[in-house]
């Protein structure tokens, strides 16, 4: 619970924080002018925006969206106590995400629904507080969180710093996974950490995926790493399935055949595999690279582990491959060939040449 003296945020604190950003701005005048023109374009495209929010800067941009810093002009009109304490006279900042029109409508709806559901969860996730649509323009409004570039602190991070960083990250993942949501794009750029307060926010649920229902419990592929649900007989069902795959002619030979448990599959014609491969290069888990259809929240834990590896080795990015094959080779360089071959066998991936 906040103390009464912390219940209000003074205008001086808000203004000094904003001035600090301006003083540390290393962008050229041309770039700043370009951003101003871009902001004008957004306000022209969404007329209703000007009455509620005043865009003042661009925080970042990606393949599917751009994010802007804005002043909430109607903060005192509505009850915003859930995400931001009332201020006496200071400005309240928010982050406005403009989702590009090239994004799939289903993808946009999915992201907004997930962010709305997350509003009931952890304070360490970027949840939805408002949304605006005008024709083909969609804007999502979230709380603004001050943060610093990962490159400015990952080389000098101390153990107490890492404790704070990963405590916030794992609390965010706990809230996300409790709702049976896979973030799918956990990386430093999507975890906004403020080194001055020790608080971090997990953001950008554009690639997130909800899992649940039958797909959460049923075993729907030949990947042997997945534990079948009740319909498949639990652990006994897994053992029966493995024995069946070893005996059936033309099927994958199992884990105990050939060199390191891997050999040529007969026949060589492979069925097409449909699997979600979304994510960022260098942070995707092996099951994504191997096109496994049975993907779980473990993907996010792998990505968090890669972030930890960047801290421990003081190298970022740690993995820097150009394609999935190179990415698997980089992982094999750490874990060894035997473990990667066994991993491939668990995902029903076999040598074909």
Does residue 18 lie in a domain region?
Answer: no
Does residue 109 lie in a domain region?
Answer: yes
How many domains, in total, are found in the chain?
2
Query: What residues does 70 pair with on adjacent strands?
Result: 55, 94
Between helices 324-335 and 337-346, what is the axis angle to 10°? 120
The runs of H, that is alpha helices, within 68-153 are 105-118
Q: Record the pTM.
A: 0.78
Give the largest Cα separation in the chain, rounded: 76
Same domain, yes or no: 132 and 211:
no
Whether the per-residue pLDDT at 26 is higher than 60: the answer is yes
Tokens encoding 339: 């473990």
The verdict on whether 324 is a catalytic residue reads: no
d(CA 290, CA 277): 9
94 near 142, Cβ under 8 Å?
Answer: yes
C-alpha distances in Å from residue 55, one per residue of 138, 141, 301: 15, 12, 35
In whole numbers, what is the pLDDT of the chain averaged over residues?
80
Q: Which of 18, 185, 204, 300 is catalytic?
A: 185
User: Looking at 65-74, 77-86, 120-129, 238-247, which range is the least confident one?
Assistant: 238-247
Whether the per-residue pLDDT at 50 is higher than 90: the answer is yes
The runs of H, that is alpha helices, within 188-267 are 214-217, 234-247
pLDDT at 343: 84
C-alpha distances in Å from residue 86, one per residue of 15, 74, 227: 16, 12, 49
pLDDT at 255: 45
Domain extent for 67: 4-13+23-143
Domain boundary among 112, 143, 174: 143
115 near 126, Cβ under 8 Å?
Answer: yes
Q: How does pLDDT run across 335-346, given as a tens digit for each residue?
A: 998 988 888 887
The runs of H, that is alpha helices, within the chain are 11-23, 29-45, 49-52, 105-118, 159-178, 214-217, 234-247, 286-289, 298-313, 324-335, 337-346
Mean pLDDT computed over 224-249: 51
Whether the per-residue pLDDT at 11 is higher than 80: the answer is no
Does residue 188 lie in a domain region?
Answer: yes
Same domain, yes or no: 153 and 234:
yes
Same domain, yes or no: 131 and 230:
no
Same domain, yes or no: 117 and 93:
yes
Top-confidence residue, 234 or 118: 118
Domain boundary among 143, 174, 198: 143
pLDDT at 275: 54
Top-confidence residue, 24 or 291: 291
């Amino acid at each position: 619970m906040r103390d009464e003296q912390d219940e209000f945020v003074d205008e001086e604190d808000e203004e000094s924080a904003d001035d600090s950003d301006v003083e540390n701005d290393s962008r050229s005048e041309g770039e700043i002018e370009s951003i101003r023109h871009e902001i004008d374009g957004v306000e022209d495209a969404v007329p209703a925006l000007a009455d509620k929010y005043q865009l003042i800067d661009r925080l970042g941009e990606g393949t599917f969206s751009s994010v802007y810093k804005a002043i909430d002009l109607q903060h005192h009109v509505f009850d915003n106590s859930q995400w931001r304490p009332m201020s006496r006279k200071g400005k309240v900042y928010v982050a406005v995400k403009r989702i590009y029109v090239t994004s799939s409508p289903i993808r946009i709806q999915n992201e907004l629904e997930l962010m709305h559901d997350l509003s009931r969860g952890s304070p360490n996730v970027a949840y939805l507080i408002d949304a605006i649509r005008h024709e083909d323009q969609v804007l999502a409004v979230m709380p603004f969180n001050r943060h610093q570039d990962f490159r400015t602190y990952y080389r000098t991070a101390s153990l107490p710093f890492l404790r704070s960083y990963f405590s916030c990250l794992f609390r965010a993942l706990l809230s996300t996974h409790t709702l049976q949501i896979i973030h799918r794009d956990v990386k430093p750029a999507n975890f906004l950490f403020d080194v001055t307060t020790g608080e971090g926010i997990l953001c950008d649920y554009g690639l997130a995926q909800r899992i649940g229902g039958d797909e959460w419990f049923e075993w729907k592929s030949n990947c042997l790493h997945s534990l079948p649900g009740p319909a498949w007989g639990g652990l006994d069902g897994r053992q029966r399935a493995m024995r069946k795959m070893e005996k059936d002619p033309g099927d994958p030979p199992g884990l105990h055949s050939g060199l390191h448990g891997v050999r040529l599959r007969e026949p060589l014609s492979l069925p097409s595999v449909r699997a979600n491969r979304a994510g960022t290069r260098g942070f995707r888990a092996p099951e994504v690279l191997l096109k496994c259809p049975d993907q779980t929240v473990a993907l996010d834990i792998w990505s968090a582990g890669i972030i930890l590896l960047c801290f421990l080795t003081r190298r970022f990015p740690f993995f820097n491959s150009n394609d999935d094959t190179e990415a698997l080779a980089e992982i094999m360089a750490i874990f060894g060939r035997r473990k990667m071959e066994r991993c491939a066998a668990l995902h029903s991936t076999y040598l074909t040449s």
